[in-house]
Amino acid sequence: MFADFLSRLVRPDPAPLDELDARLALTALLVRAAQSDGRFDSDERDVIRRIVQDRYRLDPWAAGQLLAEAEQLEGEAPDTVRFTRAIKESVAYEDRLGVIEALWRVVLADGQRDPEEDALLRLTASLLGVSDQDSNAARLRVARG
């Protein structure tokens, strides 16, 4: 279903994503983070749904649709390295920094920090061009509520 989208995303010189494609790619990255510990429960789905609802000013139905599409895309997306690098090339830094904060919200949704989640966040931040310091600051903002 997403073959054309993915082939455009992982080209050597990907064009910037339009707003709808960027939403889908970034939401799929949130899904990937939620699944990194081997569990993807309703609490994590709810957090992602709220994030996309707030971030993109969507109604609950549209946020649920975006999440469903992102789950499908995540299942078809290439490895995290290629997928995340492609996002970096096509999404502005400010949006990538916001994504790191959203990723921390998803990872911390269950009240635990698993080694797999930490590893994925370190890798993702690096591949998105976000410094460890900025990622840590985002984690602290999320932890404080």
CA–CA dist 86, 84 (Å, integer): 5
120: CB partners within 8 A, 6+ apart: 32, 33, 36, 80, 107
Domains of the chain, by residue range, sit at 3-9+18-144
**Top-confidence residue, 33 or 66:** 66
* Predicted confidence (pLDDT) per residue in 25-53, tens digit: 889 889 988 888 888 888 889 999 999 99
Q: Biggest alpha carbon distance in the chain?
A: 40
DSSP 122: H
Structure tokens at 18: 């339009």
Helix, strand and coil content of the chain, in percent to the nearest 5, comes to 75, 0, 25
Predicted pLDDT at 22: 79
User: 3-9+18-144 has which fold?
Assistant: TerB-like (1.10.3680)
7: CB partners within 8 A, 6+ apart: none
Predicted pLDDT at 36: 84
For the question of whether the overall pTM of this predicted structure is more than 0.85, the answer is: no
CA atoms within 13 A on the CB side of 27: 30
